[in-house]
Amino acid sequence: MVRGEIMYNPKSKIAEEFISHNEILETLKFADENKNNKELVDEILAKAKLGKGLTHREASVLLACDDKEKTEEIFKLAEQIKKDYYGNRIVLFAPLYLSNYCVNGCVYCPYHKKNTHIPRKKLTQEEIKREVIALQDMGHKRLAIEAGEDPVNNPIEYILESIKTIYSIKHKNGAIRRVNVNIAATTVENYRKLHEAGIGTYILFQETYNKESYEQLHPTGPKHNYAYHTEAMDRAMQGGIDDVGLGVLFGLESYRYEFAGLLMHAEHLEAVYGVGPHTISVPRIKKADDIDPTAFDNGIDDDIFAKIIACIRIAVPYTGMIISTRESEKCRERVLHLGISQISGGSKTSVGGYFQPMPEKDDSAQFDVSDRRPLDEVIRWLMQIGYLPSFCTACYGSGRTGERFMDICKGQQIHNFCHPNAIMTLKEYLQDYASEETKKVGEELIAKEIETLDTVKQQVIENLEKIQNGERDFKF
């Protein structure tokens, strides 16, 4: 069978069937033919307003539609859906790079094997402790660990030991309560081990859904295998991990192709496991060591980027959407309104960068950081632009993962848990880590937010008092 003839089947567990190249081409054609079809666009928008999501075809029509008024409508709707599902909360996290040893040849990443001048480093358990203490001292409670693919230097045992170390460190009032993991595609058995180690979300970026481009961009190493990479989330689910995070690296392929592929991947997870992606990340290719983003001709500007984010929010309303410090403050502010619900803050993208900050221009980083503000500043900024920063990890601790989480989220019940939890974790942050200026802004915000609570209001007031007096880790 030739490639273009493969049937789209979201229920199949074969990569080329649930991400059908042919279906994506048909979708792009359909979107082009209908992007100015006002009747259809309105119909899709009316469906989107119900907040139950859209198919990849419907969402692709919205993405292709270049009518200014309709685009404004899409942005407004995305903002509303974000409020309905997530309120004004923004969850904070930090990446922790464990090792930059890598045997792959990804042409867009400076950690590729052929880069011989980049300093290679793998943290020892002692060094991980120092990094985690530095992160706890900033106020972080949620980490995403990152490591290159290298069976000799970064075997699964190393990752598991590192997770154990991270969870074991209790420095002053600090604790890392959720470790998300972003490591290479692996076996069901290894996913099971990660699950047993108590990880939060397993995150793996597809990079590109276009098989032909994928193979060219990953010329060497185990990552070259498109099917193995694309079917990783299926193996993760089989290994018991029910929170998985998708993402593509925008700039490698045509953004409309990636958008359709991403939504098809979400449809596949829903169809087979009844649980869509816990998160979707939207990284754009950035400069780093020997990587020049202009060498890739599918770069997208800020307007397209904003539209992609808004359309993902509308199409997959329940998913958490993540943006990192790759993006500037200005860009982050814009897309927070359009659907982003999680951001990193105070990030270092090099191995060992928290304990021993690297120079501004860091050649060993995986990508250049645009938003270099310390976490305290990011928290203050979020509050000043109308958001409630949250360090909550309660769902994970209370077993509200996978299908249970999705049921609560789809029923738009998340406010009853997340909102009070956000208030209480913000209070912890203010008590333990914030500058005086941030504390002032935060206390005013908490006083305002308490008034929005109903049944749990009294309980929250009591807990805030207890936090003020030194107790920690309250949750609903």
Residue whose CB is less far from ligand SF4, 106 or 382: 106
Torsion 306-312-318-319 (CA) sign: negative
Does residue 10 touch ligand SF4 according to CB under 6 A?
A: no
- Residue among 365 and 467 whose Cβ is closer to ligand SF4: 365
Joined together, the tokens standing for residue 78 give: 């995305």
Specify the residue for token string 């991270």: 166
153 vs 328 by CB, closer to ligand SF4 = 153
Residue from 16, 23, 58, 149 touching ligand SF4 (CB under 6 A): that is 149
Q: What is the DSSP string of 386-400?
A: T-EEE---HHHHTT-
Burial of 297 (0-12, 13-18, 19+ CB in 10 A): exposed
182 is a site residue for ligand SF4 (CB under 6 A): no
Query: Contact between 380 and ligand SF4 (CB under 6 A)?
Result: no
For position 427 contacting ligand SF4 by CB under 6 A, the verdict is no
Q: How far is the CB of 465 from ligand SF4 (least distance, A)?
A: 46
Residue 145 found at the interface with ligand SF4 (CB under 6 A)? no
- Count of residues of this chain found to bind ligand SF4 when the rule CB under 6 A is applied: 10
Q: Which is nearer to ligand SF4, 149 or 242 (CB)?
A: 149
Asked if 288 is part of the footprint of ligand SF4 (rule: CB under 6 A), the reply reads no
Q: Judging by beta carbons within 10 Å of its beta carbon (0-12, 13-18, 19+), is residue 160 exposed, middle or buried? A: middle
Identify which of 280, 407, 402 has the alpha carbon closest to the alpha carbon of residue 339. 280
- Residue 475, beta-bridge partner list: none
Q: Which residue lies nearer to ligand SF4 by CB, 112 or 141? A: 112
Contacts of ligand SF4 in 101-120 (CB under 6 A): 102, 104, 106, 109, 111-112
- Indicate whether 280 belongs to the interface with ligand SF4 (CB under 6 A): no
- Helix orientation angle between 402-410 and 414-432, rounded to the nearest 10 degrees: 100
Examine residue 8 and tell whether it contacts ligand SF4 (CB under 6 A).
no
What's the residue count for the chain?
A: 476
Residues 210-239 that bind ligand SF4 (CB under 6 A): 223
For 59, 88, 111, 402, the CA distances from 278, given in Å and listed in that order, are: 19, 18, 27, 8
277/265 Cα distance (integer angstroms)? 9
Work out whether 154 is an interface residue with ligand SF4 (CB under 6 A): no
Residues lying near ligand SF4 in the complex (CB under 6 A) are found at: 102, 104, 106, 109, 111-112, 148-149, 184, 223
